[in-house]
Amino acid sequence: MDPVHRVPWRSVSQVGELSAREKQQELQLAELQARLDYVFKQPALLHEALVHGSALDGARHRRSYDRLEFLGDRVLGLIVAERLLREHAGDEEGDLAPRLNALVNKHACASAARKAGLGEALVLSPSEEASGGRGKAAILGDACESVIGALFLDGGLEAARGFVTRFWADAFDGARTVARDAKTALQEWAAARKKGLSYVLVEQTGPEHAPRFVIEARIDGFTPTRGEGASKREAQRAAAAAFLEERGVHG
């Protein structure tokens, strides 16, 4: 793919007409494209993918990254599921689900966002920036999914897959060793440290015939991790796997 400097974001004369703040944003977007090794054919998609809701002012921005985040979440799940099926051809669904949940969650997305330097290019309100918004895991995780959505719309599945392949490399390596019975592994890990472990139902959605559960694994003194599944047991396993993966512990 052609490097960014061969496809300028704007002409030199156009950049000269911009305000100092706009110039900085243009340069940040160009630098981000260089880090992504991808030049957007529709630059407006990348810009939208980086606009946090706090920056909406009714004049410059018509929407935040929420819509692209919605799309990117689904695209990420597809890319990861496809790769897991290919790399773990002998595994059943019960083995694949914990790996998927260890890879497709806000923690993993925030980690990828930091590697890609997305925080530097985010468009935030002054108050959100002052409160450290560029480094917040929740915002970075959302922005990561929105960028994946933008890549998908601009360059198709291959463009999105390139991003995931590059910035999830370490996470995929770790997922190869995620054990099926992550709950047992986490119980042993917590017991060895004399820490209490509990699973708390956070959310239940969907119809009765196809429910979805979100459950947090909570250990005294540690940040909870969430897992999602079609049953409470599956969601608990996913939450346990996410906790183990986050701390580099493998069952």
Using alpha carbons, select from 174, 175, 183, 171 the residue that is nearest to residue 231: 183
CA–CA separation, 68 and 56 (whole Å): 15
Strand blocks (E) in the chain: 197-205, 212-219, 225-229
User: Among this protein's residues, is 145 annotated catalytic?
Assistant: yes
Using alpha carbons, select from 190, 25, 232 the residue that is nearest to residue 122: 25
- Contact predicate 235/204, CB 8 Å: no
User: Among this protein's residues, is 48 annotated catalytic?
Assistant: no
Local structure of residue 125 (DSSP, 8 states) = -
Which residues, in sequence order, are CB contacts of 26 under 8 Å at separation 6+?
9, 10, 15, 18
Side-chain-side CA neighbours of 25 within 13 Å: the count stands at 15
Q: Per the structure block, which two tokens stand in for 230?
A: 């079609």
Q: Catalytic one among 69, 73, 128, 154?
A: 73
Q: Catalytic one among 145, 154, 234, 245?
A: 145
CA–CA separation, 1 and 121 (whole Å): 22
Please identify every residue annotated as catalytic.
73, 145
